[in-house]
Amino acid sequence: MRLLSVRLIISLIVGITVVSLAFSYYQVIAEKRGLRSELERRAELLGESLAGNVERSWEVGSDKELQKIVQRFGKREYMLGVAIYDPQGKLVAVTPELTQMMTATPSSLIEALAEDQNKAAFVRLGNQQVHILAVPLHRKDKLVGGLAIVHQVSYIRAQVLQVWRDTFLRVLAQVFLIVFITLLIVRWSIAGPIARAAQWMRALRTGRISSRQEMPDLEMFRPLAREVATMAHSLSQARLAAENEARLREAGESLWTADRLSVQVQTRLDGARLFVVSNREPYIHQRNGKSIDVSVPPSGLVTALEPILNACDGTWIAHGSGDADAEVVDTHDRLRVPPDDPRYTLRRMWLSKEEEQGYYYGFANEGLWPLCHIAHTRPIFRADDWKHYEEVNRKFTNAVLEEIEDTPGPVILVQDYHFALVPRMIKEKRPDARVAIFWHIPWPNPEAFGICPWQRQLVDGLLGADLIGFHVQSHCNNFLQTVDRTVESRVDWEHFSVLRQDHRTIVRPFPISVDFTDDEPAKDSQGFTYEERAALLRALGVEATFLGVGVDRVDYTKGILERFLAVERFLEKNPTYQGKFTFVQIGAPSRTHIKRYHDLLAEVEVEADRINWRFQKDKWKPIVFLKRQHSHKEILPYYRAADLCLVTSLHDGMNLVAKEFLAARRDERGVLILSQFTGAARELRDALLVNPYDIEQTAEAIRFALEMEPEDKQLRVQRMRRVIKEHNIYRWAGNLITELSEIRLDAAEDQHEKLRANVSVA
C-alpha cells in the first residue's frame, strides 16, 4: 500500500504539473498576443493623431516645428521616440533617444512609402526589441514623407515572466492540495474498504467466518466486488465439499456433489458433448425499466443439469419466454451462461402465440397433463393442438440437429411431456446420437392412456430414445404395459426394455430429488424456530401458536381444496386449536390462460374466505392464502418455522416440496404429512402418509403431527433427511448420464441378428 501511495503521489505531481504547464503555456501565448495587439492598437491611434500634426507643420515648412513635435510625442508611456522622413527615406526629425538607434531607415518605413499605406513590425534595434509603426504623410494628396513611431516591448516580456511565476506558484499549491486530498480519499474510500475486504477474505480463508456473512461494502469496485463474492462462495463451497468428503471417507459413505457429478460426466461421456432440450429455460431475461434483469426460475432441473453442461461445454435448448430474451442473444439466438461465469451455451427458441397456445397450453397442459395425472379433470384433445404439438416438436428437433451437426456421438437429454416426439425425430436423422428422455409426470395405466387419440404416435416417439426415465417403478410398469397394447414391439420384462423397429429402448426409474447441502450446524434450541415463526406471522398480521405450511402451484392435481377441507375438519374436531393453529398456503398462480386453472384459483380463494369467515376471531385466522410467485429464498423461512408441512397431491410424479421441506429442517424438527399418491411417498416412509381424498384421515394426521413427541419427530426427520442426502439431485443426474453412457447403440442390431439366427436354426 505504501508503494502504491508513492507511485500515486509521483503520478499526481507529474500529471498535474504537465497539465498545468500546458494550460499555462497557452495562457502565456494568449497574454503575449493580447499585449502585442494592444500595443499595435495604441500605436495606430497615436499614428493617426501624430500624422495630422506633422502634415500641418510640414505645410509651414519649418524643420524646427517638426523637431518640437517629435520631442513632445516621444515622451509617452512605453515609447522610445518618433522619427520623420522625407519621401526618399532621409531622416528629417528624430527624438534624441533614437538618434543612435535609428542609424538606418527602417524597412517598414520603406515599404510604407512604396505602398502608400501603414506598415508595422516587431524588430530589433541594437540590443532592444521594439515595435515600429510606419505611417505615410501627405500634403494635398501628395506623398511628402513618412512617420516612424517606435515603442519598446520589454514590458511585454516582463509581464509574460510574471505570468510564468504566478503559474509556478499556483501549480505548486495545486499539487500540494490535490495530493493531500487524494491521499485522504484513497485512505477513506479505497484503502479502508480494501483493507476490510482483505481482513474479511483472510477470516474466510482461515474458516473463522462463513461466506454467508455480509462482505464489506465495495460499491466503488462493483466488478471486483462481484468477483470477490463469487470467489468467496466458491471457496466456501470447496471447503464444505472437502470437509464433507473427508467426513464421508471417515464414515465410509459417499455423497454426490456438483463437483463429483462434473467428474463423473467427464469420465462417462469421454469428451462427448451434452445437449439438453426443455420447454423452460435456465435463465430468463426480463426488462426492468431501462435495465435488464436476469433470473433463474425455481427448478431443481437447473441445479442438476448445470454441473453437467459446465463440465462438457454443453448446450441447453429451450423456449425463450422472457420479454428481454431476444435482446441479449446473438444472430444465432445463442448466449453463454451463467452470466457471471459463462461455461455453456443457451440456445433460445421462439414460438408464436398460436404455437404456444396450441402446443403448450393446449395439447401438453389441457391434454397430456390431466390424462397422466388422473385427477378427475377431463382431458381435452383438439386436432389443431396436436398439429401445433407436432410442429413445435419438429422445430425443436431441427434446432437440435443444427447444434449437433458437427458433433460426433452427441448425448441428448430431452425433458418432459412437452417433447414426446423429439427422440424419434432425432434418431431418424442422427442414429449415432445417444438420446434419453425423462418424463417428469406420472404415466397412467394403459386403459387411461388409451383415450388419447394420438397415443400410438406419442409412444412411438418416446421409443425413439435409447433411455426413458420415470420417477418410480410403477410408472415404468404402466409405460411398458401401454407399449405392449399400443404398438408392435417386443417388451422384455426381465430387463425392462422395448425392441421396436430394430431399436432397443431401456426404461428405468430415476427418482428426482433436491440439492441437499448440510453446510449449517443443526440448531439445538427451539428459540430460532419460535422467533422466526413469530416474525413470519407478525408480517402476515396473524397471531398463532402453531404453524402449518403448504407450497404449490395452484393446480387441480395438488389437492389444495381437499387440504383446506382437512384444516376445517381438524378445527371442528379439535376446538382447542382454534385461535392457535394457522395454515399458510403459498400458491403461485399457474397456467391461468386455461379456464380450468382460472376457475380453480377463484375456487381456492372462495374456500379460504369461507373457512376464515367461519372461524376467524380477533387477530387469528385459520388459513392465509399467499397468491403470488415466491422465490425459494422467500419460502425457506416458512419451511424452517412450520410445525408441519402438508403435501396432499391427488397424483404426482414425485413432488419436490416434500424433499425441500425436509432439506430445510436442519433443526431436525417438523412433521411431513404426505399424500400416498406421490412418488416421494415411495422414498419418505417416515412421513405421515394420507389419502388426500379422505378428509377425516388428513385432519387426524394434522392433530397427530402437532401432538407428536419431539423425539419421534426428530427420529423421523433424521431418517428422511438421510434418504434425501444419499439420493440427492446430483445422484439423479449422475445415474441418468451413467445409464445412458453404458447403452450400446448397436444393441438393437445385435439383438435383431440373434433373433434371425434363432429363426434360421429353428
Residues 588 and 710 in one domain: yes
On whether residue 722 sits in a domain, the answer given is: yes
On whether residue 123 sits in a domain, the answer given is: yes
Average pLDDT over residues 599-609: 96
Quote the pLDDT of residue 237: 63
Query: What CATH number did the domain enclosing 89 receive?
Result: 3.30.450.20
Residues 469 and 555 in one domain: no
Q: What is the percentage of the chain residues whose pLDDT exceeds 70?
A: 86
Residues 19 and 100 in one domain: yes
Residues 243 and 271 in one domain: no
Instruction: At 293, list the grid cell.
Output: 434483469
- 748 pLDDT band, cuts 50/70/90, is very low
- 73 pLDDT band, cuts 50/70/90, is low
- 142 pLDDT band, cuts 50/70/90, is confident
Q: Quote the longest CA-to-CA distance of the chain.
A: 155
Residues 345 and 489 in one domain: yes
> Are 272 and 742 in contact, with CB atoms under 8 Å apart?
no
Report the length, in residues, of the chain. Answer: 762
Residues 266 and 304 in one domain: yes
Query: What CATH number did the domain enclosing 591 receive?
Result: 3.40.50.2000
Q: How far apart are CA 298 and CA 293, in angstroms?
A: 16
On whether residue 386 sits in a domain, the answer given is: no
On whether residue 331 sits in a domain, the answer given is: yes
Distance of CA 501 to the CA centre of its chain: 46
Task: Specify burial of residue 2 (Cβ count, 10 A radius: 0-12, 13-18, 19+).
Answer: exposed
Query: What residues form DSSP beta bridges with 414?
Result: 277, 437
Number of domains in the chain: 4
On whether residue 497 sits in a domain, the answer given is: yes
pLDDT (tens digit per residue) in 412-436:
999 999 999 999 999 999 999 999 9
Residues 69 and 131 in one domain: yes
Q: Does 23 score more than 70 pLDDT?
A: yes
> Are 476 and 470 in contact, with CB atoms under 8 Å apart?
yes
Residues 583 and 618 in one domain: yes
Q: How far apart are CA 194 and CA 695, in angstroms?
A: 61
Task: Specify burial of residue 65 (Cβ count, 10 A radius: 0-12, 13-18, 19+).
Answer: middle
Is 0.75 topped by the overall pTM? no
In this structure, of 236-245, 475-484, 507-516, 688-697, the range with the lowest mean pLDDT score is: 236-245
Q: What is the percentage of the chain residues whose pLDDT exceeds 90?
A: 52
On whether residue 394 sits in a domain, the answer given is: no
- Helices 63-73 and 2-60: crossing angle in degrees, nearest 10, is 160
Residues 439 and 333 in one domain: yes
> Are 609 and 568 in contact, with CB atoms under 8 Å apart?
no
Residues 438 and 579 in one domain: no
On whether residue 733 sits in a domain, the answer given is: no
How do strand 79-85 and strand 142-152 relate by DSSP bridges?
A: antiparallel
Q: What number of other Cβ atoms are within 10 A of residue 11's Cβ?
A: 12
Q: How far apart are CA 188 and CA 165, in angstroms?
A: 35
Q: Which domain holds residue 272?
A: 261-350+410-509
Q: Which of 254, 281, 315 is the last residue of a domain?
A: 254
On whether residue 405 sits in a domain, the answer given is: no
pLDDT (tens digit per residue) in 110-126:
888 888 888 888 888 77
Residue by residue, DSSP assigns 712-749 as HHHHHHHHHHHHHHHT-HHHHHHHHHHHHHTS-TTHHH
> Are 443 and 475 in contact, with CB atoms under 8 Å apart?
yes
Q: Which of 446, 476, 509 is the last residue of a domain?
A: 509
Quote the pLDDT of residue 227: 64
Residues 490 and 596 in one domain: no
Residues 557 and 613 in one domain: yes
DSSP 8-state class, residue 461? H
Instruction: At 722, list the grid cell.
Output: 438421510
Q: How far apart are CA 468 and CA 67, in angstroms?
A: 123
pLDDT (tens digit per residue) in 520-547:
544 444 445 677 888 899 999 999 999 9
Quote the pLDDT of residue 624: 97
SS3 state at 278: strand
